[in-house]
Amino acid sequence: MRRELEVAIEAALAAGREISRIYREGFDVRQKGDEGPVTTADLRADALIERILRAAFPEDAQLSEERPDDLARLEHSRLWLVDPLDGTQQFVDRIGEFAVMIGLAVEGRSVLGVVHMPEEGLTLGAAEGAGAFVIEPSGRRRRLSLEPWHGGAGRPALAVSRSHFGHRTQRVLSSLGSNRVLRSGSVGRKACLVALGQADAYFSLGRRSSHWDACAPEIIVREAGGVFIQADGRPFRYNLEHVRNREGIVASRRGLEPLIVEAAAGARGSSPDPAGRKP
């Protein structure tokens, strides 16, 4: 997977440069029905990524948030899942919490991922069996390694959505006794806070995210030594007919995830979090 990883990094960096340019020069915004905003940056970054991946791996299928899904991908064992601008609302709001996400699923499993955060100059990547790493603004590549959660270490620091914070989310926080909350945009960025050791876990109970939000950060968190599962405790499977993450997301240090899954189960009986923006 070395070539796939380097091509994915190349594509993410190219998309990030285009996003940063547009972020500074200005952009058009329109609404995708109830799916939230889409900007010039989303579309141009997506076109760049599609072209680079297609040139390198013409036989592979692609699924992107910004392209129609004709389900022809179901005939392929290898599927690239792309979110060219994860955190579009934060981009529009001029909050620098957004990311480029490129993941590869083989036979329905996440095996490779890159998450690039242009405004922070950070790029995280991983391939199955090869570990996870971060490329820092200096260009230094550093391996990521998460220690398991130890209950005696204090209350967990939990990453949650900046724009999608409802009653069920608060119930989980209360159940875990956590008052260390990091609110952020971008699913990928929040998962990367875990992989970087800056948060002990990220969770979302919403149903607004999709497979392109999960594939890339999943393998990064897993290869760093953490856990990335659905909020009901089951593993993720990709390249299915439906693409919604219907049971939410949990990314955490190993050993903390059972507590979050239990708290999430308890919160399901409460009033649902408001629908709308991606978690």
**Cα torsion through 259, 187, 16, 194, rounded to 10:** -10
Neighbours of 75 (CB within 10 A): 8
pLDDT of residue 168: 86
Contact yes or no for 269/208 (Cβ under 8 A): no
Tell me, what's the pLDDT at 276? 41
Q: Cβ neighbours of residue 36 under 8 Å, at least 6 residues apart?
A: 88, 89, 276, 277, 278
Distance CA 162, CA 231 (A): 19
Q: Which residue has the higher pLDDT, 32 or 214?
A: 214
Any idea which of 35-49, 100-114, 148-162 has the lowest mean pLDDT?
A: 148-162
Q: Domains plus CATH for the chain?
A: 2-144 (3.30.540.10), 151-267 (3.40.190.80)
Tell me how far apart the alpha carbons of residues 2 and 128 are, in angstroms, rounded to a whole number.
10
Share of the chain above pLDDT 90, in %: 82
Least confident range of 168-182, 193-207, 238-252 = 168-182
The proportion of the chain whose per-residue pLDDT surpasses 70, expressed as a percent, equals 94
The arithmetic mean of pLDDT across residues 2-21, rounded, is 98
Task: Specify the pLDDT at position 68.
Answer: 93
Q: Which pLDDT value is given to residue 35?
A: 78
Average pLDDT over residues 210-235: 97
* 3-class DSSP assignment, residue 133: strand
Min mean pLDDT across 70-84, 149-163, 226-240 is at 149-163
Name the band, by pLDDT with cuts 50, 70 and 90, for residue 279: low
Q: Which of 22, 76, 82, 78 lies closest to 52 in space, CA to CA? A: 82
Q: Which residues pair with 30 in a beta bridge?
A: 38
pLDDT in tens, 116-136: 999 999 999 999 999 999 999
Task: Write the CA distances from 97 to 24, 71, 150, 242, integer angstroms.
Answer: 15, 31, 29, 27
Top mean pLDDT of 145-154, 156-165, 254-263, 264-273 is at: 254-263
User: For position 151, what pLDDT does the model report?
Assistant: 72
Q: Which residues of 197-222 are buried (b: 16+ CB within 10 A; e: fewer)?
A: bebbbbbbbbebbbbbbbbbbbbbbb
Pull the structure tokens for residue 39: 């900007």
Mean pLDDT of 138-164: 87
Pairing of strands 29-31, 201-204: unpaired
Mean pLDDT rounded to a whole number for the chain: 92
pLDDT score at 268: 73
Torsion sign across C-alpha atoms 29, 208, 96, 125: negative
Q: Print the SS3 string covering 185-237.
A: CCHHHHHHHHHCCCCCEEEECCCCCEHHHHHHHHHHHHHCCCEEECCCCCCCC
